[in-house]
Structure 1
Amino acid sequence: MKDLTINTATAFDLPPVFAARHLIDGAWIDGGDTFERVSPSHDVVVSRACLGGAAEVNAAVAAARRAFDAGIWSRIPAKDRAAVLLKVADLIEANVERIAVQETLESGKPIAQARGEVGGAADLWRYAAALARTSHGDSHNSLGEDMLGVVVKEPIGVVSIITPWNFPFWILSQKLPFALAAGCTVVVKPSEMTPSSTVMLGELLIEAGLPAGVCNIVLGLGDPVGSLMTTHEAVDMVTFTGSTAVGKRITQAAAGTLKKVALELGGKNPQVIMPDADLENAADAVTFGIYFNVGQCCNSSSRIIVHEDIAQDFVARVVELSRKVRFGDPLDDSTQVGAIVTAEHNAKIDGYVKDAVAAGARLELGGAPLRVEGLGPQFYQPTVISGVTPDMAIAREEVFGPVLTVLTFRTLEEAIALTNDSDYGLSAGIWSNDIHTCLAFVRGAQAGTVWTNTWMDGFPELAFGGMKQSGQGREIGRYGYEEFLEVKSLVMRVGRDSRTPWVARSED
């Protein structure tokens, strides 16, 4: 541990314990049981949230249903919906620090990354506002002189939005503004571990003038809150981000009502390193890709596939950089890696590492929990494991921590085969100065996003989502927006007497 870069506890006055309440039909609702969130980094209670049940879910869904059917949001001009979304974006930027501090305390992520997440989310709201105004259907005037066809797009209806703990503000902003831009009404359930930033956003929605009932927030556990939001007959669509196991259960539960389901699930994302790559930049990107957000990221590049001719040198580069990455107090502006979300998850990460070493993998760095002076126990060392074989659990399953696995290859075909040898297909990347190599990899990789000579760059204009067991449907971009729309075809006859009668007319 002495050769690692550790930021010990800083002097910081923690804010008061945040009281998180339900938002139903424009009113804040409290009462009943509560859930106390203990900060994974500071080991103190930082929020106290209401625990909802069937009564709160039914009330929230009923409010969303009334608001949608009344047309107070779904049938107003798109420019008016866009105006509200733009106000929300401005309010987000005005409240970045307050929201980011609370998210850091609840999630354990570094404050600098929390600020980037919250502030960057404003751009998603602005892009969604632009889509609201520019969305349109199609017309077909080539169907014959007496026919006109029009394809229109209408909001799907009431949407249940269920979000995870790792990027609670960003992932909500990948869903909510696009649903609202389409004219939908929603019920949101954040993770019970990170409820506060969603409630804070609810405050901003009210301040921006969103009508009552259009966005409702119900706090609580997956069972019963999330389960009922998935099966409720008055809900038209469910959009969920989280584990693949839970996503499968949601799909099964929603089958009873045949509601639409959109899922953004796990990943086991590879970066392929070719011998002709810019190894300095590639090593930096790999280091970022595994430690960003404490490795608790669906897009984490948790496995690298390195050409055997450069593998030893490249791993040494990554290990050297890993020692310089700042682990520790997430409230320190210079910290790059904070705390693991729960003690149970920290133990799970450690179990994957211990099992891999027992199976013959080599520990190049780390491989154990990390103690940080003055802070709680939920930290894990930067960890690099080489000698990994494709059959090991650590190479196939989503570890969700600061643990990098290294595999090697000899040919591009073998690298593509290793890339696709996974149940997941969220993202992948390649490093090479040969454009033909990059394009061949892009064509062959089974992933929803493929990066070449970069990692984790994203833009509101570009759709995000996975193949295989990484999910179904897309988020953000125009494709993500259209997930919340139904397509309706209008077939109109121009003249009444221009067609031959199907039933013969009787003669007078």
Structure 2
Amino acid sequence: MADTDIVCISPIDGRELVRRPIMSDAAIDAAITAAREAQVAWRHVPLSERASKVSAFLDALLAMNQEVVPEIAQMMGRPVRYGGEFRGVEERARYMIRIAEKSLQNIPADDEKAGFRRMIKREPVGLVLVIAPWNYPYLTAINTIVPALMAGNAVLLKHASQTVLAGERFQMAMDRAGLPKGLFQNMHLSHDQTSRILGGGLVDHCNFTGSVGGGRSIERAAAGSFTSLGLELGGKDPAYVREDANIDHAIENLVDGAFFNSGQCCCGIERIYVHEKHYDRFVDGAVDLVNKYVLGNPLEEATTLGPMAHRRFADIVRQQNAEAMAKGAKAHIDARRFAADVGNTAYLAPQVLTGVDHSMSVMREESFGPTVGIMKVKGDEEAIRLMNDSAYGLSAAIWTSDVDAAEAIGEKLETGTVFMNRCDYLDPALAWTGVKDTGRGASLSRLAYESLTRPKSYHLRQI
């Protein structure tokens, strides 16, 4: 592979799926200039017209679903039977369009003062760079793209090499919707070029979704440029099944939360703590459900579990499982039941581990794959301690019949989102945010508009 190319290797068969040349530095500079020029006019377009154009983009994107679903399977392995991501894309985009007027309205001074007009207006930051990941190539990108445009910004998109075609689909939809030329641009960039853009202060805000290491690289690149950053990084999201939980519901939802998309979900469940009263029943039920998965070619309708996006990701999970078992953990799933898992490929059988503890990397470090550890706990206090024993904090889920207890436990958890009786979902009305090594900033909800705009105060004295 030439270092001037972006290449996607399909996890289905290990073959090259698509290759794109990276942009020249001159082309990058021209794109940024065009975006700046387009944004100057776009910020003054009435909000209702912006909403109409962004809605037209969304409609154009949704119309591509029939082609997009198999593309996702080919690029990163998610089975076609699940129908892609556009239900969530539409929910989030339409919500952010709908709340834009209220979120961006002027903020009057708290008290009136005779002879003065005082207010705070929200102005667009200018040029927003979105660096999107491969695991949910449309859902993750839409979180920032839509509110950024609605707020009056221009947007540059750098998509992951594994899902390079998703970035091109965004561009096609923008062009079909007739957005101003240069306002949105999909860019094929190398890491060095991305660092140059950030370090040179060529954009005003960058939203990055990816690994902790990637987030640190983004921060280093932007250091001294005063470019604002939104970072959604790693996660090791826990779930707690209380004594008063609906166990059948918990089993069904948590297995799905741990293994959907081969476990490659930002807020997927990676560790489960179960009250000792229900532990054996929960483990038996979870193992039974996991054994029903069908691992195979994601282009086939019968497949319920596709390959991981790349063999190296599968190897990380294999290493975590092996280390846990070497330290005494018990593996409940016989990989021989899953014929597609032959080793040295991106195909990896799901795994349920018990006898685990926090000395094992599978309970401490991000797996981002089809494996989950289950631990027995005596009650809330022990569960809270273990759930917080992590460098990450994106979401945490509690299974209980007591709403007040869930809220009280949630107040003690070091996390960005607290779920009750569900997991692995982003509510667009709520801020999507994290703590500790999971990152900083917020997307979705009205708070997304605060990170994509800057306050400008008006103190107008009448003489």
TM-score with structure 2 length normalisation? 0.94
In 1, distance between residues paired with 2:3 and 2:309? 26
In 1, distance between residues paired with 2:208 and 2:336? 32
In the TM superposition, what is the alpha-carbon distance from 1:127 to its structure 2 partner? 2.2
In 1, distance between residues paired with 2:198 and 2:305? 34
Deviations 1:305-358 (A, max 9, x none): 111232222111100010112322211234221111111111111011111111
Count of matched residue pairs: 461
Aligned residue number for residue 9 of structure 2: 38
Residue identity matched to 2:13: H
In the alignment, which of 192, 215, 221 is matched to residue 184 of structure 2? 215
Aligned residue number for residue 434 of structure 1: 402
Is the contact between residue 56 and residue 218 of structure 1 (CA under 8 Å) also seen in structure 2?
A: no
- Residues 1:104 and 2:73 aligned together: yes
Deviations 1:408-441 (A, max 9, x none): 2112111111111111110001111233322221
CA distance 1:122–1:376, change in 2 (3 Å): farther
The ranges of structure 1 where at least 4 consecutive aligned residues each deviate by more than 4 angstroms after the TM superposition are 366-371, 373-376
CA distance 1:213–1:369, change in 2 (3 Å): farther
- Residues 1:55 and 2:23 aligned together: no
Is the contact between residue 106 and residue 194 of structure 1 (CA under 8 Å) also seen in structure 2?
A: yes
Residue identity matched to 1:47: V
- Residues 1:164 and 2:164 aligned together: no
Is the contact between residue 314 and residue 345 of structure 2 (CA under 8 Å) also seen in structure 1?
A: no
In 1, distance between residues paired with 2:449 and 2:375? 37
- Residues 1:481 and 2:452 aligned together: no
Q: What secondary structure is seen at the aligned counterpart in 1 of 2:240?
A: strand
Is the contact between residue 265 and residue 424 of structure 2 (CA under 8 Å) also seen in structure 1?
A: no
Is the contact between residue 128 and residue 481 of structure 1 (CA under 8 Å) also seen in structure 2?
A: no
Deviations 1:81-132 (A, max 9, x none): 101111112112211111221121101111133x341343123222232233
- Residues 1:255 and 2:239 aligned together: no
- Residues 1:139 and 2:137 aligned together: no
CA-atom RMSD in angstroms: 2.2
Residue identity matched to 1:142: D
In 1, distance between residues paired with 2:155 and 2:17? 27
Aligned residue number for residue 312 of structure 1: 280
Deviations 1:340-392 (A, max 9, x none): 11111111110111111112211122468964299993211110111111222
- Residues 1:177 and 2:156 aligned together: no
CA distance 1:84–1:321, change in 2 (3 Å): same
Query: Which ranges in structure 2 are unaligned for 5 or more consecutive residues?
Result: none
Is the contact between residue 6 and residue 188 of structure 2 (CA under 8 Å) also seen in structure 1?
A: no
- Residues 1:359 and 2:330 aligned together: no
Aligned residue number for residue 445 of structure 1: 413
Q: What secondary structure is seen at the aligned counterpart in 2 of 1:267?
A: coil
Aligned residue number for residue 120 of structure 2: 151
The more displaced of 482-491 and 370-379 is 370-379
In 1, distance between residues paired with 2:123 and 2:335? 52
In 2, distance between residues paired with 1:373 and 1:184? 46
Aligned residue number for residue 95 of structure 1: 64
Residue identity matched to 2:124: P
Q: What secondary structure is seen at the aligned counterpart in 2 of 1:302?
A: strand
In 2, distance between residues paired with 1:349 and 1:32? 28
Residue identity matched to 2:69: A
Aligned residue number for residue 339 of structure 1: 307
In 1, distance between residues paired with 2:188 and 2:245? 47
- Residues 1:85 and 2:30 aligned together: no
In 1, distance between residues paired with 2:55 and 2:184? 16
Aligned residue number for residue 66 of structure 1: 37
The more displaced of 131-140 and 444-453 is 131-140
In 1, distance between residues paired with 2:300 and 2:257? 21
CA distance 1:293–1:214, change in 2 (3 Å): same
In 2, distance between residues paired with 1:174 and 1:492? 36
- Residues 1:492 and 2:463 aligned together: no
Aligned residue number for residue 238 of structure 1: 206
Q: Spell out the pairing of 1:399-478 with structure 2 (5 A cutoff).
A: 399-478=367-446
- Residues 1:194 and 2:194 aligned together: no
Aligned residue number for residue 45 of structure 2: 76
Deviations 1:129-174 (A, max 9, x none): 2233333021238342122211100001111110111111111111
Q: What secondary structure is seen at the aligned counterpart in 2 of 1:490?
A: strand
